[in-house]
Structure 1
Amino acid sequence: MAGAPIYSKADLARAETYKARDYPANVDPAIETLVREMMSGFADKWTVTILDTLWDSGTLRFSELARQVTGISQKMLTQTLRRMQRDGLVVRTLYPSVPPKVEYTLSPLGMTLGAAFCNVWIWALENHKAVDDARARFDEAE
């Protein structure tokens, strides 16, 4: 059948391994709500980009972070950092000086999330060829 996905036995076995994980049948609604809230927060590109930047660079002043996160407005950077701070992912340190010095760093909780995002990078390394092939098959069928 033209355009049908071509998966290797190894691909199918890996998918079955993920499906077979022992997840609880009845998830606590509070946990489900937290996952949905956090995922919707990560869905925007700025949260992931800021997380990645702080993961790579460590502690940064607001202006340094703004320079490294290309394309973000000051308002959006402030809003995203506040949300990340509220969620416990970022620590904001204000130093009493003129002008005020503010630094941001990932909290221990933010570091655990950064480690989780490392798995996305690993997935991308392992699967980039399969994604490229799937895109090529799709584009050919169009």
Structure 2
Amino acid sequence: MSPNENRSDCPVANALDLLGDRWTLLIVRDIVLGQRFAYTEIGADEGIATNVLSNRLERLVCAEVIEQFQHPTDKRRRAYLPTEKGISLVRVLVELLVWGDAHTSATSGAEFAAAIRKDRETMIAHLEAKARQSVEDFHE
């Protein structure tokens, strides 16, 4: 199924068709929140297989969640930056982080989750602005 094909009329089902596998939101997290733009940086902490990473990046580019560019320091490499559509996933990532902090044994995001709980909207706005700024900085 291509990123533009919908198997149903349900927005949740359609979002999950694009984002609902094991790796895609982690890739989006790395690009949007982690500001990891180089192929070798994306998904490195989780050990995503290169064929899976390539496939997911291609799907996200086709769905206009991210854009692919030539890497500024090495023309043989590619860099991936979030689009506005990708940046709009900050809220989803934040909610998953808070949920995961509350309902799983993960501990690495506890301080961040606590800061989000104190002022969720300000944190989301800050993270979105930071992602936009990183895109601008890349193009300078």
Structures share fold, TM-score greater than 0.5: yes
**Structure 1 residues 76 and 32 mapped into 2: Cα distance closer, same or farther (>3 Å)?**
same
Matching residue's letter, 1:71? G
CA displacement, residues 113-138 of structure 1 (integer Å, 9 cap, x when unaligned): 13222112223445569xxxxxxxxx
What is the aligned counterpart of 2:88 among 108, 112, 130?
Answer: 112
State the TM-score, normalizing by the size of structure 2. 0.57
Counterpart Cα distance in 2 of 1:49 and 1:31: 25
Counterpart Cα distance in 2 of 1:96 and 1:117: 28
Alignment match, 1:40? 17
Counterpart Cα distance in 1 of 2:101 and 2:75: 44
How many residue pairs are counted as aligned between the two chains? 100
* Structure 1 unmatched runs, 5+: 1-28, 130-142
Instruction: Describe how 1:1-142 pairs up with structure 2 within 5 A.
Output: 32-65=9-42, 68-94=44-70, 100-126=76-102
**Structure 1 residues 95 and 124 mapped into 2: Cα distance closer, same or farther (>3 Å)?**
closer
**Structure 1 residues 63 and 121 mapped into 2: Cα distance closer, same or farther (>3 Å)?**
closer
CA RMSD of superposed structures (Å): 3.1
Query: Larger % of helix: which?
Result: 1
- Taking only the aligned residue pairs, the percentage that are identical comes to 16
Question: Are the aligned partners of 2:60 and 2:66 in contact in 1 as well (CA < 8 Å)?
Answer: yes
State the TM-score, normalizing by the size of structure 1. 0.56
The higher radius of gyration belongs to 1
Question: Are the aligned partners of 1:46 and 1:72 in contact in 2 as well (CA < 8 Å)?
Answer: yes
Matching residue's letter, 2:33? D
Question: Are the aligned partners of 1:51 and 1:114 in contact in 2 as well (CA < 8 Å)?
Answer: no
